[in-house]
A and B are shown apart, each in its own frame.
Chain A
Amino acid sequence: MKKKSYANKQILIPLAALAALIIFNLIMDPGFFRITLGTNNAGNPILSGYLITILDYGSELAILAIGMTLVTAASGGQDISVGATIAIAGSVILKVLCGNNTRPDQLQAPIIVAFLVACLVSAVFGAFNGALVAYFKIQPMVATLILFTAGRSIAAWINNNELPIVSDPSFSYFGGLIPGIPIPTPVFIMLICVVVIFLVLKFTNLGLYTQAVGINSSSSRLNGINPTFIKFLSFVILGLCVAVVGLIKVSRLSTINYSVIAKDIEMDAILAVALGGNALSGGKFNMAASVLGAYVIQFLTTTLYKMQVSSDALPAYKAIVVILLVVLSSPVVREGFVKLGKKIKAGSVQKGVA
């Protein structure tokens, strides 16, 4: 009973942030919430509007947030190499699809094969991060700093710094629209991922073990859990999430830009986890709150874009939000709030007695 109330409380944090953003936008311009159904150039139905954009791009972030939540909970640190690994996964997909020719008339391999290869490659990179963290006991953020630096270089190197272009229209379904369905495909991909992780958490002990390792690694070992493996596994799962996002990202453009693709996405993914009310130092987590947090972040980004903030200056505003967020959730400030709350409660009780 107590546990349930905790979980309910945690999801209130992103909900409150979402409510604040909605109210802000209602005051600034109610047109923000308009959704129109039109047809695109190919004659397919398409929904458009700021809310659809949020759903569309927020889905990428939500998929990343799933993996990031597990990594955060298990290792007490964050993976900052996700943006660079997305570049690698995207590069691998294009390499498999295009072969040695950068502008092939037809696909050199089925898309599913390319995707599976990308999954394998990013799982290997995830395993590399995981091994450094779990076996060599290097702080997660520093271990992933290695790929953060080298990742985009490796991505460019895979394709020899050329920019392959896929002309096959079916490839663009993943990041765009499937003909006849007006809702962007990433939303469906996100739903699949969420259902899969929900089932995994429901029917396996992964969630329990991850939390146990995050709360106290050595006592979880004494209870028969292998903390090293759990930490390692969380990074591999994040690697798989990265491959999915990589597919969506390259599918949107049908090509890749190594230095720009998924730039700064690690910041948003970490932010989504933090906004979901999950402790960044590991331990208990709430997956639903993280996913909701991802959409709130995207809501914030879209709101800022609508307020004519340039994309280069965007990080400055987001950084302020992050700082506010972490300050509010810091132990010192939280304790202060609890004390204040107790005082108010005590005061009201006294009044009641009197």
Chain B
Amino acid sequence: MEKKKSFKERIFGLSDTNLLLIITIVVFFVMYIGAVVIQGGGFLKPQMFFNILNANAALIIASVGMSIVMITGGIDISVGGVAALVSMSCAVYLDKQNGSVGGAVLIALAIGLAYGVIQGFLVAYLGIQPFIVSLAGMFFARGMTTIVNTAPFNVQNEAFVALKETRINVPGMGSLNKKGVYVPAYVEIGVIIAILVVIAFFLILRWTKLGRSFYAVGGNAQSALMLGINVKRTRFLAHLICGLLAGIGGFVYFLHVGSGSASHATGMEMNAIASSIIGGTMLTGGVGNVIGTLFGVLSLATIQNIVSSAGLDQAWWTGITIAAMLCLFLVIQSVVMAAKKRALKNR
């Protein structure tokens, strides 16, 4: 007869990925409910939630790429720089050279792909530490952005502005405004792209050979090699995907702000890493989930919203809260994993 498992045993019996995912989702809901309690009904309006999505679609896309790299045990801190470079290049192409929107998309993809290929090659095939490679990548992108164009400016290109202003109404969601008129909730195009990216990579990570080999390489590269997985190629592909998603994220960011500036997406790499960690991706690799990452971004955005609507609007509070949250989650992960190890040992 099987002994009934205790709650603790059942919790620690989960895989690392699922355990951390559950923690993340719980934290997000606690935080959102906390926001509703502290800030009142504002957070209950659907549009409030969709605004968070609108503002953070680019971050979601970049964070998915970051999570994949982190699952394989690497890191990429160039995503913010790439996003800024993409914004500036597209802005210059659209405004100063009268380019088409399609061309701008191609530019964004090309920049992202170039970053992914070069960084992936350096990391996977030359064995250089990913942090150093992407640190150099970040500085290169930031420097390159000012070389492309120094002064920030708004894009006036008509086709682009039309695309930027496109709003997609969410069926069944909406609220009455002050005049009592029903206003449907809307999302921007970027959100659709972001959700598609999350779903695609959730499926890839879960049910494809490539996805499983990301986990295997991150968990233990040596055993992955012995199982016949091409470790170098897997790492290369992880960085390739991350670079490509950084390019797409950069374009979505550009679509949201509609301008080019060298100071765009400052700290985006930090937010992407923080979101991934909060979403339960472990820095040591082998553990993580893009659904968790999505919730990580939402948690981060919610806390930023609480901070700014609590009147602590000074820029430094955002930095301090994100850092504090990141620190908290790093410590929680470290402690939970140690506790789990101990619990499994004693069984």
Contact = CB atoms under 8 A, between A and B. Distances in A.
Contacts of B142: 312, 315-316
Contacts of A137: 334
Contact of A326 (B132, B144, B283): B132
Contacts of A314: 143
Given A138-B334, A145-B326, A147-B323, A332 B127 contact: yes
B135 A267 contact: yes
Nearest to B324: A150
B319 A142 contact: no
A25 interface: no
A148 B147 contact: no
A326 B128 contact: yes
B29 to A, nearest CB: 25
Interface in B290-314: 314
A260 to B, nearest CB: 13
B267 interface: yes
A317 interface: yes
A145 B270 contact: yes
Contacts of B316: 152-154, 156-157, 161
A161 B314 contact: yes
A330 B128 contact: yes
Nearest to A131: B331
A154 B314 CA distance: 12
Interface size class of A (residues with CB under 8 A): 35 or more
Given A141-B75, A150-B324, A331 B127 contact: yes
A323 B273 contact: no
B124 to A, nearest CB: 10
A19 interface: no
A45 B324 CA distance: 49
A316 B140 contact: yes
Given A136-B330, A149-B267, A312 B262 contact: yes
A317 B139 CA distance: 9
A250 to B, nearest CB: 19
A320 B137 CA distance: 9
Interface string A118-153: 000000000000001000111101110111111011
- The listed residue with most A CB atoms (<10 A of its CB), out of B122, B139, B334, is B139
Interface in B132-168: 132-133, 135-140, 142-144, 146-147, 150
A211 B282 CA distance: 28
- Chain B interface SS verdict (over half): helix
Nearest to B118: A323
B300 to A, nearest CB: 12
B143 A313 contact: yes
Given A280-B129, A312-B146, A149 B136 contact: no
Contact of A146 (B127, B283, B327): B327
A153 B139 contact: no
Interface in B264-282: 267, 270, 273, 277
Nearest to B322: A149
Contacts of B135: 80, 267, 270, 322
Nearest to A266: B135
A149 B323 contact: yes
B227 interface: no
- The listed residue with most A CB atoms (<10 A of its CB), out of B125, B267, B319, is B319
Nearest to B129: A280
A317 B143 contact: yes
A63 B88 CA distance: 37
Contacts of B125: 332
B126 A330 contact: yes
Contacts of B136: 319-320, 322-323, 326
A78 B135 CA distance: 12
Contacts of A350: none
Given A142-B273, A315-B143, A316-B139, A132 B75 contact: no
Interface string A149-179: 1101110110001000000000000000000
B320 interface: yes
Nearest to A320: B140
Interface string A299-341: 0000000000010111111111011001100111100000000
Contacts of B146: 310, 312-313
A68 to B, nearest CB: 13
A105 interface: no
Nearest to A135: B334
A323 B315 contact: no
B330 A333 contact: no
- The listed residue with most B CB atoms (<10 A of its CB), out of A139, A141, A145, A147, is A145
A218 interface: no
A281 interface: yes
Nearest to A156: B316
A132 B136 CA distance: 25
Given A310-B146, A313-B147, A326-B133, A150 B126 contact: no
B330 A332 contact: no
A70 B280 CA distance: 31
A80 B315 CA distance: 21
A125 B291 CA distance: 34
A139 B283 contact: yes
A273 B139 CA distance: 18
Given A156-B316, A157-B320, A319 B143 contact: yes
Contacts of A154: 316, 320
B270 A148 contact: yes
15 contacts: A77-B131, A136-B331, A138-B334, A143-B330, A161-B314, A267-B135, A270-B135, A280-B129, A316-B140, A317-B143, A319-B137, A319-B138, A319-B139, A326-B133, A330-B128
Interface of B: 75, 122, 125-129, 131-133, 135-140, 142-144, 146-147, 150, 262, 267, 270, 273, 277, 283-284, 314-320, 322-324, 326-327, 330-331, 334
Given A312-B146, A322-B136, A330-B127, 10 more contacts: A136-B334, A153-B317, A153-B320, A154-B320, A157-B320, A161-B316, A316-B139, A319-B143, A323-B122, A323-B140
